[in-house]
Amino acid sequence: MRFSQLFWTFMCLTVPVFFGGVAGATTPEEAAARLFGAETVDKAWFTNQGLASAVPHVVEELQDTLGPLQSIAPCAEKCVALFESGEVSFNIVVDAQGLISTILIDVPILYASSMEVALEQFSELPGNVSIFVKRDEEPIATLDADSPLAVGSAFKLAVLKALNNLVGAGKLEWDQVVHLKDEWRSLPSGKLHEWPIGSPITLHTLASLMISISDNTAADALIDIVTRNSVEGISLRNRPFLTTREFFQFKHRDHGDFRDRYEEGNFDQRMSILNVLAEKPLPRLNELRMEPLQAFEWHFSTRELCALMTDLQDLDVLQINSGVARKTDWDIVSFKGGEDAGVVNLTTSLLSEDGTRYCVSATWNDDEAVDTEIFATLYASVLHQLQTPE
C-alpha cells in the first residue's frame, strides 16, 4: 500500500514536485509569470534536461485545469499563481543566469462557487465516492458518508488508535524500544524494510514512519505489537485485520486459490489461510497483480475515518506530512491518506486561527485505475471552501 502525495508528478505521498525554471527573469515572480503564462514552455529555460522534459507537461495540465494565468502574487513563505479558475502555490529558485533551478508545486485548487458545487464535482467521478466534512462536531457536507469503501493506507489510523489506547492505558510507552523482526518486513511504501534485522527503534518512530511516509513495515510491526485483536476492536468490520504483508500475499498472481477460499471462508477459516501465508516468502513486486483487488482491502466509511482522525488529531505523528492542505493556511494540519489500484482516500483534520476544527475525508473506489491528480485537485477545492466566507 502506498500513498502518493498526489502531486503533478507521481512519487510515494512526498509533498512537492521538483522542477526547473525560466531564463531571462530577474525575480521569482517574473520567472513564474513567464513559465505559467507561456503558450509554449521553452526547454532553454531550464537548468537541466530532466527539468526541461518534466515541466512543460505540468504547466500544460495546470492551464488546462485552471484556465489562463491571471497574475503571480508577491512571493512570501509561498508563491501563488492565480489562474482564471483556480490557483496553485509553489516555491521557486532562479539562478544568476535567469534559469529556474527548482520549483516545488503543490496540489492546485480548482475554485468552486459553493461547497455544494465542490461536492457535485466529486459525484461526477466514475465508480463510488464517499465524502464527509464536519465543522467541530457538526457535519456540514456529506456524500454517501456511511458507505464503507476500500481506503488503502488510511487504515493505519486504526492501528495508530490502538497504539494510542495502549499508551494511554500505561501498557506501552512512546519511547519504548523494540527490535526489527524479519516477519515484520513488507513491501514499499516506506524504507524500514531495508533496515537491518534487529535494528532498535522506538514505538514513536514506528508510528511516525507509518503515518508520514506510510511505511508498511512499520505498520505491520505495530499491528504485531498492539495485537491484531486490539485493532479489530476498533474496526469490527475488518476481521481478520490484515497486515500489509498479508495483503501483498493475496495480490500474488499465483495465489488465486487462497483468494477464493478466503473470500468464501468464515473467520476461523480465514485465520487458517493467513497462518499458511505467513510461512510463504514475501512476494516480489513483479509477482503482484496490478489491477484493483478491493475485496482484500481495509474498508471504512469517511465518517468513521473522521471519527478516528478527531480522536488522534493532536498526535504529533499526524502533523509531519500535511498532505494536500497548505500548512500556511491553518494553525494545525493532521493528515493520513491511502492509495492503491482503484483506491484513493484523503483524510485531514484542520485547526483554523479562530479555533474551529474541521475534518474532511474523501474516498474514491473504481474498477479501473483512479485519477489521483484530479481527485487531489477536487479535494483541495473542498478545503478551500472551508476558508471562503459564507
Full set of structural domains in the chain with CATH: 18-105 (no CATH), 112-390 (3.40.710.10)
Residues of the chain scoring pLDDT < 70: 1-25, 388-390
Please, is 232 exposed, middle or buried when counting C-beta atoms within 10 Å of its C-beta (0-12, 13-18, 19+)?
middle
All cell numbers assigned to 147: 458507505
pLDDT the model gives residue 47: 86
Residue 211 · residue 321 · CB < 8 Å: yes
Angle between helix axes 203-212 and 216-226 (nearest 10 degrees) is: 130
The answer to whether 110 and 66 are in contact (CB under 8 A) is yes
The residues near 207 (Cβ < 8 Å, ≥ 6 apart) are 160, 163, 174, 218, 222, 315, 317
pLDDT in tens, 81-129: 999 999 999 998 888 888 888 888 999 999 999 999 999 999 999 999 9
pTM value is 0.89
Q: What is the pLDDT of residue 270?
A: 98
CA distance to 6, 16, 32, 61, per residue, from 22 (Å):
25, 19, 7, 18
Beta bridge partners of 150: 299
Other C-beta atoms closer than 10 Å to the C-beta of 110 total 22
For residue 101, the model assigns a pLDDT of: 87
Question: CA-to-CA distance for 118 and 120, rounded, in angstroms?
Answer: 5
The dihedral formed by the CA atoms of 325, 328, 330 and 333, expressed in degrees to the nearest 10 = 50
Contacts of 201 (CB under 8 A, 6+ apart): 177, 178, 179, 180, 192, 195
Q: Residues with Cβ < 8 Å from 319, sequence gap 6 or more?
A: 332, 333, 334, 335
> From the CB of residue 107, how many other CB atoms can be counted at a distance below 10 Å?
28
pLDDT at 388: 67
Cell readout for 168 is 494511554
Are the CB atoms for 239 and 267 separated by under 8 Å? yes
The residue type of 281 is: P
Identify the pLDDT of residue 11: 27
Three-point CA angle 246, 219, 315, nearest 5°: 155
